[in-house]
Structure 1
Amino acid sequence: MQVKGWHVAREGEAVTLARRCPARFDLKVETLLPPVGRLDRLAHQVRQDMWRALRDLRGFAPVVRVTPCEGGVTVEAGGEVAGAVPRRTVEARIADVLEDRANRARWVNWAA
C-alpha cells in the first residue's frame, strides 16, 4: 500500500515504511521500545525524525521496520543509500535519534 509517496508493507505483524519498494537496508540501527498500539504511526514518527537528522545525506531513502516482540516492539531504522557514505558515522547519527529520550517518549505517546 502506498500512502503519500511512502510504501507501507505489512508482513505478518511487522510494518515496513519505505520510500522505495522493495525496501532495502544499506544502513541499519535497532532499538527496543515499549508496546504500542499503532505500529504504522510509530514508523512514520521515527522516519520523520531520522530524515531531519540525515536530510543532508545525498541519495538517502529512509526505511523503518517495526516488529512486535516480547516486551515491546523492535524498531529497525536506516535505509538505502546511493553511493559511498561513512557507514559508522551515519549509523551513529541514526542511533542518536533512536536513543534520544524525548523522541522515544513522543513516539510512544503518539503511537499508543
Structure 2
Amino acid sequence: MARDQWHLTHEEDGALTLARRLPVRFDLAVEGRVPEASRARVAHRLRQDMWRALRHLRGFAPVVRVWRVPGGLHVRAGGTVAGRFARAEAEARIAALFQDPARVARWTGAGG
C-alpha cells in the first residue's frame, strides 16, 4: 500500500471508519461530538490534526470512527500504538483537539 492510502470503511451500523491499518484497533481513544458535516471530511481532517499532535509516538497509526447522532456527529478518535506509551497524556492531546473551536470548524467546513 502506498504511503498516502487509507482504508475508508462504511460499517453496517452507519459509521464511517478511517484507518491506516486493518483490522482496526484502538489502543487509545477519545470520544466527542461535532456539528453535522461530511463524515469523510471530519475523519480526514481530524486524522491530520491527531497525527500532528501525536507524531512523536513511535508506531502510532491513527483511527477515526464517525457516526451520525441527533444534532451532529459522534466521533471516536485514537488508534494503535506499537509499544509502551503514556496513555493519559496521548488521550489528553486528542481531547484538546475537540476543545479547539477553530479546528472543529475546519473539520466540519463551518466558517470556510
Question: Is 1:17 aligned to residue 18 of structure 2?
Answer: yes
Number of aligned positions between the proteins: 108
For the residues of structure 2 that align with 1:80 and 1:54, how far apart are their CA atoms?
A: 11
For the residues of structure 2 that align with 1:76 and 1:16, how far apart are their CA atoms?
A: 9
* CA-CA distance at 1:56 after TM superposition: 1.0
Show the 5 A alignment for 1:8-87. 8-12=8-12, 13-36=14-37, 38-87=38-87
Secondary structure in 2 matching 1:20: coil
Secondary structure in 1 matching 2:94: helix
Kept in 1, the 8 Å contact 2:41–2:108? The answer is: no
Secondary structure in 2 matching 1:85: coil
* CA-CA distance at 1:102 after TM superposition: 0.7
What 5-or-longer segments of structure 1 have no aligned partner?
none
Matched AA of 1:35: E
Q: Normalising by structure 1, report the TM-score.
A: 0.90
Secondary structure in 1 matching 2:90: helix
**CA-atom RMSD, angstroms?**
1.7
Matched AA of 1:94: I
> Could you tell me which residue of structure 1 aligns to residue 96 of structure 2?
96
* CA-CA distance at 1:34 after TM superposition: 1.1
Q: Which runs of 4+ in 1 moved over 3 A?
A: none
